[in-house]
Amino acid sequence: MSDEISLRAWLEAYLTPLVPGTWRIIPSLTLPKTIEQPTVTITHTRMAPEPAAPMSRNVVNDLVIRIANPLEDLLRAENDLDDDVNTLIHALKTSDRLRWTDAEKVQIKETPYFGWDVTVQVLSTLKPQETE
């Protein structure tokens, strides 16, 4: 992972070839009021020391990949997403820096949309402090 980009930007670049071409990844923490295709947002929710080496500079970052479906019929929306989300979580296993921890079906608040929240953990390393 480059020091020059945020974790969300890194994850967006990592996800782009893994999601169906009909999905849209947007650089936003929240969904727009209306969507016309399955839409992905990424939220960075937590940081903690790496459990195996808590004194190291390694940090475990939790991020949520939210996939929302524009279909307002919940059964159709669910059927439309299930296989693609299952394929995605298996594809996430290809990175040494990332692992998925769970995937949960959600009715997205303040929208008519159904979707999935996939929680992933990404390992990053803090830069050492420069001394004067």
Listed residue (17, 21, 36) closest to 94, CA to CA = 17
- Residue 11, number of CB atoms within 10 A of its CB: 23
How confident is the model over 5-42, as pLDDT tens digits? 789 999 999 999 999 999 999 988 888 889 999 999 99
CA 11/CA 66 separation, integer angstroms: 12
Q: What domains sit in the chain, N to C, each tagged with a CATH number?
A: 7-125 (3.30.2000.10)
What pLDDT digit, counting tens, does each position of 88-111 carry?
999 998 888 899 999 999 998 888
Using pLDDT thresholds of 50, 70 and 90, give the confidence band for residue 4. Answer: low
> Can you give the pTM of this predicted structure?
0.87
CB 19 within 8 A of CB 88: yes
Token couple for 97: 């820096």
Residue 2: pLDDT over 80: no
Confidence of residue 132 (pLDDT cuts 50, 70, 90): very low
The whole-angstrom separation of Cα 60 and Cα 8 is 14
Please name the residue that has the structure tokens 């169906």: 20
Q: Tell me: the pLDDT tens digits for 36-70?
A: 999 999 999 999 988 887 677 889 999 999 999 99
Indicate the SS3 state at residue 39: strand
